[in-house]
Amino acid sequence: DAGVTQSPTHLIKTRGQHVTLRCSPISGHKSVSWYQQVLGQGPQFIFQYYEKEERGRGNFPDRFSARQFPNYSSELNVNALLLGDSALYLCASSLSNEQFFGPGTRLTVL
């Protein structure tokens, strides 16, 4: 079975631009969570979606938004990119109590 997949794997943007990151959960998983991992730190929780509804939001500005589609895949959108948004963005899906993480999208903002 395929694990959690994310696209693209790498992305380079400039300040002020907008970015969309995509995540496909494990088949049958209805919950998707997004995390930001800055170099040298642990992942920081951004959003959780379950059955297309937002169930949780971390301490991130409104420039960050997300949505979940009927097939449970998800998009993370970041507007007006800042240099500090450079990070590894991780998606995780879950069926119950264990989260399965994807390989992440490495975003570089120049």
Partner 1 sequence: DAKTTQPPSMDCAEGRAANLPCNHSTISGNEYVYWYRQIHSQGPQYIIHGLKNNETNEMASLIITEDRKSSTLILPHATLRDTAVYYCIVRVLYNNNDMRFGAGTRLTVKP
- Interface residues with partner 1 (CB under 8 A) are 4, 31, 33, 35, 40-45, 48, 55-58, 90, 92, 94, 96-104
Query: What's the min distance (Å) between Cβ of 68 and partner 1?
Result: 13
Contact between 20 and 88 under an 8 Å Cβ cutoff? The reply is no
Contact between 88 and 108 under an 8 Å Cβ cutoff? The reply is no
Q: Using the minimum distance from each CB to partner 1, give the nearer residue, 64 or 101.
A: 101
Which residues on adjacent β-strands are paired with residue 83? none
Query: What whole-number distance in Å separates Cα of residue 68 and Cα of residue 80?
Result: 21
Q: Using the minimum distance from each CB to partner 1, give the nearer residue, 14 or 46.
A: 46
Structure tokens at 43: 């992942």
Query: What's the min distance (Å) between Cβ of 15 and partner 1?
Result: 25
Query: What's the min distance (Å) between Cβ of 63 and partner 1?
Result: 20
Q: Using the minimum distance from each CB to partner 1, give the nearer residue, 14 or 105.
A: 105
Alpha helices in the chain (DSSP H): none
